[in-house]
A and B are shown apart, each in its own frame.
Chain A
Amino acid sequence: MSSSEMRRGRIDTQGQLKSEPLIFERGGPGRIGYALPELDVPEVNVEASWGRDQMRRDLVGFPEVSEVEVVRHFTRLSQSNFGVETGLFPLGSCTMKYNPKVHERLARLQGFAEAHPLMPDQLSQGALELMSRLERALAGITGMAKVSLQPAAGAQGELTGIMMIAAYHAHMGEQRQKVLIPDSAHGTNPASASLCGLEPVQIASNNNGTIDVAALRATADRNTAALMLTNPNTLGLFEEQMEEISRIVHDCGGQIYCDGANLNAILGKTRPGDIGVDVFHINLHKTFTTPHGGGGPGSGPVAVADHLAPFLPRPTVERELSSGRLRLEWERPQSIGRVQAFQGNFAILVRAYAYIRALGADGLRQVAEDAVLNANYLRVRLADHYHLPYPQPCMHEVVFSDRLQNRCDVTAMDICKRLMDYGYHPPTVYFPLVVHGALMIEPTESASRDELDAFAEAMIAIAEEAETDPERVRQAPHSTSIGRLDEARAARRPILRWVPREAEEPATVGA
């Protein structure tokens, strides 16, 4: 049976329809999924109060559906989505570990969920206490001096960090334009540098996959604002020459920014602040297991060395020595400003804090140990079947390439689609760019040995299929609700919204 034949019925073995119409294609006039109490204050004639020419006539195209229809619609949509609890999710660089359920309960405590960010400080002591303790914990974990919890995501943390470095150099009376970035870096690194008006300069990796120190030494000069590095890097390898790297950059007056995406590998083993890093951002949605949410929200706290603390976003959380009370400190004359309208993603901070408290020092170290153990176990189990560009022991993630499978015209993309048929979310593919046809596998510490064995066996089976039945791999996935989608067409003729049939009529009166 071909793929399309299997999918043609579009009914699975539970008798469920696998494709779900748009919500706009459901419902009917007069249906509603919401109940408002009776109005207990005088009604206002809005048309008279605002003037008719300020009014819209209707919400053309908005659904009219009952609560039942809403719940069934989104429940069915969820069933064609793969989450961390569905199965192993070895997406390199994303740290898809288990998200504890208790965090959902804690984030929804009334005192947190109903707290308004502009409450007077004396009514926010619980929130400020949590933020203060989380800052202290993150400072201790990273070996840095001070932390801001304001940035809403890793990329925003990077932007904040680079802005602080630029402000620092300006404060020192220097104009430095260049940001040195390894060719293995995540795309947000050069994008963040550009957003600050600085010029990204690429530094090559050496044959071991780490920064070419000679190239760095030749490039770093008095125009270098910063080096942005990731450690361990995006190949899962520790930058062993960190001491020399730090010396080179600091000797010419530059600052070291470290992307904390791979913190999971080094918890309790080494601390960026101890090894030369001046600014470090943390992805709470990676290392500290706040849920990925299908693409967000994340949280990207930024941790700095003492000399950069004056430039942190405002407000900061400070404790009054006399009373012990906490307050938001707005008087920060050298602050770069703010990157969020309020204090950061507080509900996400609650989850990260709860996680750190649940683990403690021993648990945090165990995270790194199991994460690294798991990745190395997959490295040795798969090394005979997939090309390993860097054969040395890895840290929490291992990067293979599709070179061997290319001989049968099977690519990394094909392999990852075929893995879906085996019940896995694929690893990261085609990143980092320094490896052609990269497959980046990060099992995290959440995986058990038997889960890893099953995953390895699936990967080995696919490697065999690539040789014996490559077409089956190239045509994958076969068992998902939809086949490979025409991405070229989506970009060529973008359809980015549903359009109601009534859209020809103006939505306002008096237009």
Chain B
Amino acid sequence: MMSTNDARGGGKYFSQGPDDRRRMLDRIGVKSVDDLFASIPENLRFCEPLPVEDSLAELDLVRHLQDLAAQNGPAGGALSFLGAGCYPHYVPAHVDALIQRQEFMTSYTPYQPEISQGMLQSIFEFQSLICMLTAMDVCNASMYDGGSGVGEAVLMARRLRKRGGRVLWSEALHPAYREVAMTYATHLDLAFELLPVGSDGRTVLSEIDDDVVAVVLQQPNFFGIIEDLRRAGENLKEAPAKLVVATAEPLAWALAVPAGEVGADIVVGELQSFGNALNYGGPMVGFMACRQEAVRSLPGRLAGQTVDEDGHRGFVLTLATREQHIRREKATSNICTNTALCALATCIYLCSLGRSGLQELARTNVAKGSYARTQVVTDAKLPAVYSGPHFNEFVVRVPEDAEQVVRRCGERGVVPGVALGRFDPERRDQLLICATEVHRRADIDRLAATLAEVCS
């Protein structure tokens, strides 16, 4: 037997030395560790080494991962104007430092509240912040992402309406969110119909009859346009249909009238913009918020306030009878984990920006988006597709296939936006461009100049 653990092969992650193992086997009363696997019938055992790549000691591991990271655009300095549900915002260093505290990062779901008050209180603060932002009564402790959130919202609307029927959703609801929701609703008695957008980019609402289970809009919508939620709320006031308002870019809600003020039944979406990096699309931070009377139908964890035996305020996970570990097949959802650490980053970020900072950042994003639109329209001579007010994204028409435009801009070190043909073949000549506070004036000028060159 070796005298020390071989530190290659992850040996430094094991705390037993060879002598420890021998003494433990003696105490258990078996000759070798193989005896402890005797319950696996011989013909079911795997007796070769696992077919995985050779192990790497930490120095080599770091080099290998650096090589892989270097093969991605950002490492090579590519300037990106991609948005479409995943937004580049600056994350202050202290946010990232705080979530790396092991007490947060390595802890488990706070089912033992006496030793989890840190996580529970921060979840309560998170829930409170999102309620305030959306003007809703209750918000859950986060979900996987905006897409699965919209899926769960459709299921919840159906539960609340106690019937199947039609779901009317905007073509300006993120196409990926729609695809996820349809996957979630595969076996259900729901038919999905698209609501079109007008020339201003806003959703055109039709007659909402009693057969409609839910109407789903997005704010700002997938094309970056600010929807008139006030009018939507008015239209739906008398209808039994549930108004679901989704968001992929909640920063706009620092300025826009919150959906809870204008009659939304469910607000759902993505909070990645607040305190989380792009990370090639994951992990994200979904959330769902609803009215007080619907709370028992809400999926996901909930932190609630209570007291201990001395009357001191404390927090616990509550209303667990909605959840899978109690209700099992009758649960509101099968969701178990949420995205706690990402939601914590969101909470810390929102606290740091605070009452004035969030609005200032939102105004900066409007300014950057507006400047980008002006420059692209005038310098690159690409017409904007929609005339309505927009946040930090907008759509332009290019003379040919937007995929080709993206490819040629890529050769010049610029990723100008998302070619919308990948979502809808009728939009093959459309490009969705996003500009946030991370884009400097010179970056935006370069975008416009590159597009001008490529599209001339």
Contact residue range for chain A? 35 or more
User: Smallest distance from the beta carbon of A435 to chain B beta carbons, Å?
Assistant: 15
Whether A42 pairs with B112 at a CB distance below 8 angstroms is no
A358 and B55 CA atoms in complex are apart in Å by: 5
**Chain A residues in 8 Å Cβ range of B186:** 163, 166, 196-197, 336-337
Contact at A269–B138, with CB atoms within 8 Å? no
Taking a contact as CB atoms closer than 8 A, the residue among A64, A163, A342, A366 that contacts B284 in the complex is A342
Could you tell me if A188 and B84 are in contact, using CB atoms closer than 8 angstroms?
no
Question: Residue among B96, B103, B108, B155 with the most chain A CB within 10 A?
Answer: B108
A349-376 vs B, Cβ < 8 Å mask (1 yes, 0 no): 0100011111111111111011011101
B338–A295 CB distance below 8 A? yes
Q: Which residues of B contact A366 (CB under 8 A)?
A: 9-11, 14
A295 touches B304 (CB 8 A): no
Instruction: State whether A197 touches B188 (Cβ < 8 A).
Output: yes
**Does any Cβ of B come within 8 Å of A407's Cβ?**
no
Bitwise interface map of B from 359 to 392 toward A, beta carbon under 8 Å scored 1, else 0? 1110110111011000000000000000001000
Question: Is B199 part of the contact surface with A, judged by Cβ < 8 Å?
Answer: no
* A24-B71 contact, Cβ under 8 Å, with A75-B98, A295-B340, A490-B304: no
Which one of B114-122, B205-213, B236-244, B393-401 is at the A interface? B114-122
Q: Is B68 in contact with A126, judged by CB distance below 8 angstroms?
A: yes
Structural contact, B72 and A126, CB atoms closer than 8 A: yes
Contact (Cβ within 8 A) B147 A341: yes
Q: Determine how close the nearest CB of chain B comes to the CB of A474; give it in whole angstroms.
A: 12
* Chain B residues closer than 8 Å to A83, beta-carbon distance: 102-107
B286 → chain A closest CB, angstroms: 9
Proximity string of chain A (109-150) to chain B, C-beta cutoff 8 Å, 1 when within and 0 when not: 111111111111011111101100100010011010000000
A186 to B106, CA, bound (A): 22
On whether the beta carbons of A56 and B280 are closer than 8 Å, the reply is no
Name the segment of A250-258, A442-450, A459-467 touching the other chain.
A442-450
* A43 interfacial contact with B, CB 8 Å: yes
Would A122 and B180 count as touching, CB distance under 8 A?
Answer: no
Q: Which residue of chain B is the closest to A342 with respect to CB atoms?
A: B281
Cα A188 to Cα B326 in complex, Å, equals 10
User: Which of A41, A346, A511 is B261 in contact with, Cβ under 8 Å?
Assistant: A511
The reply to whether A338 and B180 contact each other, CB–CB distance below 8 Å, is yes
| Contacting residue for A114 out of B51, B88, B329, B340, CB 8 A | B88
Chain A positions 51 through 93: 1 when the CB is less than 8 Å from some CB of chain B, otherwise 0: 1011110111111110100110111011111111110010100
Which residue from chain B places its CB closest to the CB of A58 in the assembled complex? Answer: B355
> Please, how many angstroms separate the alpha-carbon atoms of A153 and B52 in the complex?
23
- Chain A 407-438 per-residue mask, 1 if CB under 8 angstroms from chain B, else 0: 00000000011001000011000010000000
Which residue of A8, A81, A117, A507 contacts B118 across the interface (Cβ within 8 Å)? A81
Known: A31-B354, A393-B36. A292 touches B44 (CB 8 A): no
Stretch from A213-221, A301-309, A316-324, A492-500 forming part of the interface with B: A492-500
Q: Is the CB of B339 within 8 A of A296?
A: yes
Flag if A347 contacts B283 (CB, 8 Å): yes
Beta-carbon contact of B53 and A357 below 8 Å: yes
Given known pairs A485-B306, A498-B125, the reply for A116 and B341 (CB within 8 Å) is no
Contact between A77 and B106, CB atoms less than 8 A apart: no
A residues less than 8 Å from B308 (CB atoms)? 482-486
Hey, which chain B residues are within 8 Å of A391, CB to CB?
A: none
Residue in B39, B108, B184 whose CB lies within 8 Å of A295 = B108
Q: Kindly state the separation between the CA atoms of A326 and B147 in the bound complex, as whole angstroms.
A: 25
User: Which single residue of chain B is at the shortest CB-CB distance from A508?
Assistant: B257
Q: Which of A123, A192, A313, A381 is in CB contact (< 8 Å) with B27?
A: A381
A-B contact pairs, 13 of them (CB 8 A): A62-B354, A84-B106, A85-B106, A187-B323, A187-B336, A274-B44, A337-B183, A338-B147, A361-B51, A377-B27, A485-B307, A496-B139, A497-B124
